[in-house]
Structure formats: structure tokens, C-alpha cells
Amino acid sequence: MSLSQGIKSITEGVQSFKTLSASINLGTKALGGFKKGLIATGLGALVVVLGSIIANWEEFTEAIGISEDQL
């Protein structure tokens, strides 16, 4: 009896992880669509540009020729 319950629990667990994976994929796609919609507005584009600059600050300062010592 306990072996069959264990197998049933594993099967249910596998299905739960498949559902979780599908939910995460759907959420990722939804956020991508939200980002595109946000970029379509002028303010959204500004927020994305500022976020990109902040996320890549070191590369940005190198690209414009400013070192951290000069800041």
C-alpha cells in the first residue's frame, strides 16, 4: 500500500513541476510583452534606457571615456 502511495505522490509531484514550468514560461512571455508595451510609450522607453545604463554602468562609462576616478 505505501509503495503505491509513494509512486502516486511522485507522479503528482512530476505533474506539479510541469504545471509550474508552464506557468513560469507564460509569466516570462507576459513580462516580455509588458516590456515591449512599456517601450512603446515615451516614458517607458526612458525607464528602459535608464535601467540599461544602471545595469551596465561600468561598460557605459568606458564607452563614453570616463573612468571612475573622474567621477
pTM above 0.85, yes or no: no
Separation between Cα atoms, residue 58 and residue 14, nearest integer Å? 43
Structure confidence at residue 21 (pLDDT): 93
Give the residue extent of every domain in the chain. 1-34, 41-71
| pLDDT for the residue numbered 49 | 87
Per-residue pLDDT of the chain (71 residues; tens, 9 = 90+): 588 888 888 888 999 999 999 999 999 999 888 878 877 888 878 888 899 889 988 888 888 888 666 66
Is residue 38 a contact partner of residue 52, using CB atoms and an 8 Å limit?
A: no
Cα gap 69→71, rounded to integer Å: 5
**The predicted structure's pLDDT at residue 34:** 84
